[in-house]
């Protein structure tokens, strides 16, 4: 464990909701912290909490070898770091972006003599600095940077290194969030259905949460089937049976006056896979349809 005197100093560029939460976590853990933000007023409270506020990006970057960036998007990262001397710096970019943007930024940093680690934050600001919240950050790119700063990076949230390909953290991030949006879409349809009657959403919510939790482990079976290439392995409810059930969902939506527009794209993919003769399979074949 690092003692107080040895805590790695951190430079942090970007004090939005997430940047401010990261800053507070490092300050609370005793890390010397230098911050910069485009709108200086956002740094005032942190200065009172012990952060050093730099007047310019160049000053902030010159202060420490570990430079963490948490800005709105890749364009703002480009704008903020344009013309900055990053030679010898360990640049950790926690700004959300695409895998291509992350790989391009890694190449760009390399050209400037910096080591690059990309991060995808799987947490919202209130989860930062709260280990029991389950929040974590996906990292990819320089494993050296990750190992060297593992303890410091682990202060705001858990850390998961997913590979040397700098784009992987962003890819995992977007994959996980895409699954989340699918879940939100299903939940929106479910709430719309019960809202057509005098049903208390607060009474329904525990049933919904419980059902989604019970169904979530099915992703392990999907992974197993994708690995083996056998989509009939351990099937419980086959595609033919599930497609046969879809008219019930669509008719219920119609009867209740709810738009089926969140369900129909997925049902259409299930139906297409069935017409290819995959009735005995699980739903896993839909993955292949999306890859075409
Ligand atoms: N907040 C969240 O729930 C999510 C959780 C998962 C990860 N995301 C990503 O984290 C990045 C930062 O998000 P944020 O919540 O801090 O975002 P904002 O509060 O909107 O702050 C944005 C900061 O970026 C600065 N900024 C924007 N454009 C520029 C620019 N052209 N030049 C310099 N700085 C810029 C902005 O500065 P200011 O408006 O205060 O002057 C803020 O510091 C983000 O990628 C999320 O997707 C958060």
SS (H, E, C) 121-155: EECCHHHCCCHHHCCEEEEEECHHHHHHCHHHHCC
Q: Is 230 exposed, middle or buried (0-12, 13-18, 19+ CB in 10 A)?
A: middle
CA angle in degrees (0–180, nearest 5) for 90-91-95: 155
Measure the CA–CA gap between 140 and 115, rounded to whole angstroms. 12
CA–centroid distance, residue 247 to ligand 1 (Å): 44
Predicted confidence at residue 67, as pLDDT, reads: 98
Ligand 1, atom 9: closest residue by C-alpha: 96
Predicted confidence at residue 6, as pLDDT, reads: 84
User: Along the chain (292 residues), what's the average pLDDT of each consecutive run of 10 residues?
Assistant: 73 98 98 98 97 98 98 98 98 98 98 98 98 96 98 98 98 98 98 98 98 98 98 97 98 98 98 97 98 84
Ligand 1 residue neighbourhood (C-beta within 6 Å): 14-19, 37-39, 42, 70-73, 76, 79-80, 95-96, 121, 124-125
* Substitution site in 12, 13, 16 for ligand 1 pocket (most atoms within 8 Å of beta carbon): 16
CA–centroid distance, residue 111 to ligand 1 (Å): 25
Domain annotation for the chain: domains and CATH numbers: 4-164 (3.40.50.720), 172-290 (1.10.1040.10)
Q: Would the pTM count as exceeding 0.90? A: yes
Predicted confidence at residue 3, as pLDDT, reads: 52
Predicted confidence at residue 1, as pLDDT, reads: 47
């Amino acid at each position: 464990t690092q003692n107080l005197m040895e805590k790695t100093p951190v430079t942090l560029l970007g004090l939005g909701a997430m940047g401010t939460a990261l800053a507070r976590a490092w300050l609370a853990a005793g890390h010397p912290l230098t911050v910069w933000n485009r709108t200086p007023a956002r740094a005032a409270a942190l200065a009172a909490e012990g952060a050093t506020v730099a007047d310019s990006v160049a000053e902030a970057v010159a202060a420490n070898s570990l430079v963490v960036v948490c800005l709105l998007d890749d364009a703002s990262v480009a704008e903020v770091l344009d013309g900055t001397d990053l030679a010898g710096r360990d640049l950790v970019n926690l700004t959300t972006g695409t895998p291509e943007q992350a790989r391009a930024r890694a190449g760009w940093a390399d050209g400037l003599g910096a080591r690059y680690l990309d991060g995808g934050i799987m947490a919202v600001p209130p989860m930062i600095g709260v280990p029991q919240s389950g929040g974590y950050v996906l990292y990819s790119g320089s494993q050296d940077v990750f190992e060297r700063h593992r303890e410091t990076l682990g202060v705001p949230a858990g850390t998961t290194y997913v590979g040397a390909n700098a784009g992987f953290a962003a890819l995992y991030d977007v994959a996980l969030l895409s699954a989340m949006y699918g879940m939100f879409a299903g939940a929106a349809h479910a709430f719309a259905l019960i809202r057509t009657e005098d049903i208390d959403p607060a009474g329904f919510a525990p049933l919904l949460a419980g059902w989604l939790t019970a169904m979530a482990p099915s992703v392990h079976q999907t992974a197993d089937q994708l690995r083996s290439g056998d989509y009939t392995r351990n099937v419980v409810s086959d595609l033919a049976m599930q497609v046969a059930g879809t008219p019930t969902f669509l008719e219920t939506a119609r009867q209740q006056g709810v738009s089926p527009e969140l369900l129909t794209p997925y049902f259409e993919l299930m139906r297409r896979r069935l017409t290819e003769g995959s009735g005995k399979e699980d739903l896993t074949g839909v993955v292949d349809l999306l890859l075409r």
